[in-house]
Amino acid sequence: MTERRMRSAGITLGLTALVAASLTGCSNDDDQPDYAAICVDPQTDQRASDDNCKDEREYHGSGAGFFWFYMATRGGALVPPIGGRYNAGNGTYTIPQSRPAGTGTSGSPTIKRGGLDPGGGDIGTISRGGFGKSVKGSSGG
């Protein structure tokens, strides 16, 4: 009877470890998108809540409203808090068509719109949702 209980506990422990590993996943640079976008008001140069950017319109120097501003995630740029001023030199208002230099890969870039800390900070930290997972990007050199 004791042997059967020990075997059952071992199977339960093994399954628990397997499920935990599958939920956690592997965290590497492949998980990090090439670009992250913050919602901005180009008329005031201020970051706005992601909820204000409802589509993928591009800002071309005129027009009012809120637009996505795309920043390379591996550049080490700092993102302003909502309401804070952003530096237009740290990104682009148009949807990037190629991967950033230094990524070592070609093809279409990966883009994540929104999900950056509303309080600002390192662009390499993008909230993934789910079980509180976030990924810390790195800058290569």
**Segments making up each domain of the chain, as ranges:** 29-136
pLDDT digits (tens, 9 = 90+) for 13-40: 454 444 343 333 443 455 778 888 999 9
pTM score, two decimals? 0.63
**CB-based contacts of 44, cutoff 8 Å, min separation 6:** none
Residues 134, 125: contact at Cβ < 8 Å? yes
Residue 72 near residue 78, CB atoms below 8 Å? no
Query: What is the phi/psi pair of residue 45, to 5°?
Result: 60, 35
Residues 6+ apart with CB under 8 A from 65: 41, 57
Which residue ranges of the chain lie beneath pLDDT 70? Answer: 1-30, 102-105, 124-141
